[in-house]
Homo-oligomer: A and B are copies of this chain.
């Protein structure tokens, strides 16, 4: 685990300790996370300008490689790239020549030789972006847009940005993450970031959806909402993957909502100024009641704005780290 940790850290930083890929929040220190948040903060201002564009990625090509479909996440990465002035290629993997018997590795090498500068990768398999990052040539950066159950680091960071905006700190904050923890890459990324930044994390859900041994990640598991939300500053609801309903892991939708759905009554257990978050898209009346999702404590929509800013931040930082290393290599 430590070895993997070190490997991954090495994999996403260049020799100067700058971001060069963006694969996971695991192993990134407080200073780096803060730098990402500060950079993202500056891009929020860009989004409110008349001309929402900066030339940081001008003349660069970003390829969106979505092996798992996601209109929402792809759209936010596309917007972020456009606002950095990059050229964007959307490659629909299912219709590409991987179906003609070409290997994934051949496809990626082809993109490298087309001088694509950045791969934004979503993949159903945990570790796929790391695998790709470990093999690409020096002029490509890889951004993880969600891999299997492993990580969704841009989601994790947009959540941190949102918490910082509303709470101005992480130290001592009580954060409850609620739902299907077991299968959630979002939860995993949030846990790493919150631990690093000094918040106290509880994970709340039916025991069938709490991975055994999760305490090792430094969180407190909780199988009921009353204890989980008690005195919380932040409540993060996860999206319920309805396809898991069929199996034995989950009670019925109605039963899930009764026990773990966020209603005004349950929210009252948290602090009066607690904020409510959700990665979206939301299932109304499944994991969250409409009046809470649309209520005054909800910051679900500001999260969306922050998502663009965070994606602009990690894309521009990874590109800078790539260029710094290429330049240093050239000088040798």
CB <8 Å contact, A114 and B59: no
Q: With A79-B116, A106-B281, A110-B301 given, can you name 18 additional A-B contacts, CB distance below 8 Å?
A: A50-B59, A53-B58, A61-B79, A69-B95, A72-B110, A75-B114, A76-B114, A78-B89, A97-B281, A100-B281, A101-B281, A102-B282, A103-B284, A106-B282, A109-B301, A110-B280, A112-B301, A114-B305
CB <8 Å contact, B96 and A71: yes
| Minimum CB distance partner of A308 in chain B | B114
CB <8 Å contact, B113 and A304: yes
| Minimum CB distance partner of A61 in chain B | B79
| Interchain CA distance A66-B291 in the complex, whole Å | 29
Name the B residues within 8 Å of A91 (CB-CB).
71, 75
Name the B residues within 8 Å of A102 (CB-CB).
280-282
- Interface: A35 (CB within 8 A): no
| Minimum CB distance partner of A88 in chain B | B82
Instruction: Give A contacts to B, CB under 8 Å.
Output: 47-53, 58-61, 69-72, 75-76, 78-79, 82-83, 87, 89, 91-92, 95-97, 100-103, 106-107, 109-110, 112-116, 242, 280-284, 301-302, 304-305, 307-308, 323
| Minimum CB distance partner of A97 in chain B | B281
CB <8 Å contact, B47 and A115: yes
Q: Which residue, A107, A113, A302, A305, has most C-beta atoms of chain B within 10 A? A: A113
Name the B residues within 8 Å of A60 (CB-CB).
51-52
| Interchain CA distance A60-B101 in the complex, whole Å | 36
Q: Which residue, A47, A71, A72, A103, has most C-beta atoms of chain B within 10 A? A: A71
| Minimum CB distance partner of A286 in chain B | B101
CB <8 Å contact, A115 and B305: yes
8 Å CB contact of A89 from B79, B92, B106, B305: B79
| Interchain CA distance A92-B95 in the complex, whole Å | 12
8 Å CB contact of A304 from B101, B110, B283: B110
Q: What 8 pairs between A and B have smallest CB-CB spacing? A: A51-B59, A102-B281, A113-B304, A71-B96, A82-B87, A53-B59, A97-B281, A47-B115
CB <8 Å contact, B115 and A308: yes
| Interchain CA distance A52-B139 in the complex, whole Å | 13
| Minimum CB distance partner of A99 in chain B | B71
CB <8 Å contact, B61 and A82: yes
| Interchain CA distance A116-B83 in the complex, whole Å | 11
Name the B residues within 8 Å of A70 (CB-CB).
97
| Minimum CB distance partner of A100 in chain B | B281
- Distance (whole angstroms) from the CB of A204 to the closest CB of chain B: 22
**A97 touching B114 in the complex, CB below 8 Å, given contacts A59-B52, A103-B284:** no
